[in-house]
A and B are shown apart, each in its own frame.
Chain A
Amino acid sequence: MKFPPQVVEYLQENFSADTRPVCFQIDSKYNLIEIWGDTGWCGLDSAQVGSDMLELAPYLFESLDDTPNVIEFVSPPCGAVAHVHIIHCDNKYFVILLDAKEEHDSIQVRQQSVNELKLLHASQQRLIGRQRDLIGELVETKAELDHLRKEAERSSDSKGQFIAMMSHEFRTPLASIMNYAELASEPSVPENTIHKSVEAIARSARHLNALVEAVLDDAKLKAGQIELSEADFNLYELLSDLSAMMAPMAADKELSFVCQIDDAVPKIIRSDEVRLRQILINLLGNAVKFTVEGGIQLITTYADGRLVSSIVDTGPGISSEDQERVFRAFERGGAASDTGAGLGLAISLRLAHLMNGEISIDSALGYGCTVAVNLPILVSADDNSSQTSALAAPSENSYATKPVSVLLCDDDEDMLALTEHYLHRAGYGLIVSTSGDEAVLKVMAYDPDIVLMDCNLPGISGIEAATRLRKSGYTKPIIALTASKLSDSDQACFTCYFRKPAPMQELLTEIKLLTH
Chain B
Amino acid sequence: MTSITSKVCVVGDFAVGKTSAVERFVNNHFSDKYLTTVGVKIDTKEILLPEQNVSIKLIIWDVAGAEEFGDKEFAYLRGASGFVYVSDGTRLRTLDSAYKIREQIELRYNAQPNVLLLNKSDLAGTWQAKDDHVSSASEKFGAVYKTSAKDGDEVDTALTRLAELIVAKDLQPVQ
Chain A interface (Cβ < 8 Å from any Cβ of B): 54, 58-59, 61-63, 65, 69-77, 81, 100, 104, 107-108, 111-112, 115-116, 118-119, 122, 126
Contacts and interface: CB of A to CB of B under 8 A. Distances in A.
B72 A72 contact: yes
17 contacts: A58-B44, A61-B79, A63-B79, A72-B39, A72-B72, A75-B39, A77-B43, A77-B44, A104-B38, A107-B38, A111-B38, A112-B34, A112-B35, A112-B36, A115-B65, A116-B34, A118-B14
A74 B79 contact: no
A73 B38 contact: yes
Contacts of A71: 40, 75-76
Contact of A62 (B15, B64, B79): B79
B79 A81 contact: no
A119 B34 CA distance: 11
Contacts of B78: 62-63, 65, 69
Nearest to B77: A62
3 A-B pairs closest in CB distance: A73-B39, A62-B79, A112-B36
B42 A77 contact: yes
A59 B39 contact: no
Given A108-B35, A115-B36, A59 B42 contact: yes
Contact of B38 (A63, A108, A119, A126): A108
B59 interface: yes
B42 A58 contact: yes
A482 to B, nearest CB: 60
B161 interface: no
A108 to B, nearest CB: 5
Given A61-B59, A75-B41, 5 more contacts: A72-B75, A74-B39, A75-B42, A112-B34, A115-B65
A122 B39 contact: no
Interface in B33-53: 34-36, 38-44
Contacts of B15: 115, 118-119
Contacts of A70: 75
**Which of the four size classes fits the interface of chain B?**
20 to 34
B80 interface: yes
A132 to B, nearest CB: 16
B3 interface: no
Contacts of A75: 39-42
Contacts of B35: 108, 112
A62 B80 contact: yes
Interface string B60-81: 0100110000001001101110
Contact of A61 (B5, B43, B65): B5
A285 to B, nearest CB: 55
B69 to A, nearest CB: 14
Contacts of B169: none
Contacts of A104: 38-39
Interface string B105-125: 000000000000000000000
Contacts of A126: 126
A73 to B, nearest CB: 2
Contacts of B72: 72
B133 interface: no
B130 to A, nearest CB: 16
A111 B44 contact: no
Most buried by B among A63, A65, A73, A107: A73
Interface in B1-60: 5, 7, 14-15, 34-36, 38-44, 59
B10 to A, nearest CB: 13
Contacts of B5: 54, 61
Given A112-B36, A122-B93, A62 B42 contact: no
Contact of A111 (B7, B36, B61): B36
Nearest to B94: A122
B37 to A, nearest CB: 8
Given A74-B42, A75-B39, A122 B80 contact: no
A365 to B, nearest CB: 50
Nearest to B80: A62
Contacts of B39: 72-75, 81, 100, 104
A481 B64 CA distance: 90
Contacts of A122: 91, 93
B40 A74 contact: yes
B40 A73 contact: yes
B59 A115 contact: no
A115 B14 contact: yes
Interface in B104-160: 126
B144 to A, nearest CB: 22
Nearest to A54: B5
Nearest to B79: A62
A112 to B, nearest CB: 4
Contacts of A77: 42-44
Most buried by A among B39, B40, B76: B39
A326 to B, nearest CB: 45
Contacts of A108: 35-36, 38
Nearest to B43: A77
A63 B59 CA distance: 12
Nearest to A108: B38
Nearest to A75: B41
Contacts of B40: 59, 71, 73-75
Nearest to B39: A73
Contacts of A111: 36, 38, 64
Contacts of B91: 122
A112 B39 CA distance: 13
Given A61-B79, A62-B78, A76 B42 contact: yes
B14 A58 contact: no
Contacts of B61: 59
Contacts of B64: 73, 111
A71 B78 CA distance: 11
Contacts of B126: 126
A104 B36 CA distance: 11
